[in-house]
Amino acid sequence: MSRLYLDHNATTPARPEAVDAVARAMAIVGNPSSVHAEGRAARATIEAARETVAGLLGARARDVVFTSGASEANATALQPGLRRSGDRRRDAILLAAAGEHASVLAGHRFPRHEILPLGADGVLDLETALARIAQLAADEPEVRIVVALQAANSETGAVQPVAQVAEAVRRAGGVLVCDAVQAAGRVPTDIRLLGADVLTVSAHKLGGPRGIGALVLRPDIEMDRLIGGGGQEMNRRAGTENLPGIAGFAAAVAAVQPAIDAEASRLLALRERVEAGIEAFAPEAVVFGRHVRRLPNTILVAFPGLPAETLLMALDLAGVAASSGSACSSGKMKRSHVLDAMRVPADLAEGAVRISLGWTSTEDDVTRFLPVFERTVATLYERRRRAA
């Protein structure tokens, strides 16, 4: 039997359209900055791709800046020079939600920063966040407020209240940066409807190539460059553009965009089947964020007493690729900072396993997966009982 790939939140298998687009772009000879015919052909490919990516995110093409990925996009945006046009304040503070990606929490460049708490369900504590924004605006009007709030969490799938926070940030004259990596292409993600000032996205989460992403700005937002040098990307990011990556990114977007709602409904039905199956064979299992709005493809579940590392190794041997809700560094698993922020007990948090579905997932995958999952969990519980 073929293996089951259930780790789409880590990376989604490349779509055939993206693979073909990368191959075609590799055959384009010119440097996009060259003025001869070959260079103009390369430039035309990039600008067409910019239009496509902008369309997915409700932005103008001129406000899309291609980067090496969302981590670079986050690092570029999250610096004290991020501002609205005409804002001359020299000091800035970053307020980052506790569940943000490591590229936000560790990759920003603000000397002054604070963490906004999550509720027990994995959603931002909205009351606390709004109160802190209002307090800062009243007490320190000379300081620009920058808020980092993701569209949806990569571990729990919990959708965050971006629009409500963005309204408060705008009233305070601040800027909101939204990491939309997990949401883009899976649920409607329009920078205008979200109210965000900056979006960051990554191609490989929606079936495009790895190593390409984008930073999307509202028209009145200015920022300092992270990578200086040439004038590429409208003088916002120096370096010769990754033409094959950009072409593949656009091809993946074009494949995803027409069916976002239908695909979300399909994945939600699969997710509900998986969760019902888990509840049937392991009623003691805990699905995190189960009672809040989540991405339709994401399940983070823990089985009391079973370490995630052991369960994931057993699933891998059984032909299933899943992942932990915790970060992985140098081959060593760490307890999830998201679950810590949700105040999940350590012994339960250390057992969190993430199942994330995607465009290659089918009804047959779920039918095959559930009995494998049940046998694996039952075997590990039995081993634990014998060892006790």
Cα-Cα-Cα-Cα dihedral sign, residues 122, 107, 130, 199: negative
For the chain, give percent helix, strand, coil, nearest 5. 45, 20, 40
The pLDDT of residue 387: 86
Which residues lie closer than 8 Å to 226 by C-beta, 6 or more apart? 72, 75, 76, 79, 237
CA–CA separation, 72 and 211 (whole Å): 10
- Render pLDDT for 268-310 as a digit per residue (tens, 0 to 9): 999 999 999 999 999 999 999 999 999 999 999 999 999 999 9
With a cut of 50, which residues of the chain have pLDDT below it? Answer: 326-331
Entry field: residues in the chain: 388
pLDDT digit string (tens) for 53-112?
A: 999 999 999 999 999 999 999 999 999 999 999 999 999 999 999 999 999 999 999 999
- At residue 282's C-alpha, the angle toward residues 278 and 288, to 5°, is 60
- CB-based contact 69:202 (threshold 8 Å): yes
100, 97, 148: which is closest to 124 by C-alpha?
A: 97
The span from the CA of 174 to the CA of 68, in Å, is 27
- Give me the catalytic one of 37, 259, 328, 346: 328
Q: Residue 18: count other Cβ atoms within 10 Å of its Cβ.
A: 28
Positive or negative CA dihedral for 41, 42, 44, 45? positive
- pLDDT at res. 325: 64
β pairing state of 323-324 and 352-356: antiparallel
- Nearest CA to 176 out of 148, 154, 214 is that of 148
**What own/partner pairs with CB < 8 Å and gap ≥ 24 does 203-206 have?**
203/18, 203/69, 203/245, 203/248, 203/249, 203/252, 204/11, 204/12, 204/14, 204/69, 205/8, 205/9, 205/11, 205/12, 205/181, 206/12, 206/252, 206/253, 206/256
178 is catalytic: no
Domains, the chain: 4-13+259-387 (3.90.1150.10), 16-257 (3.40.640.10)
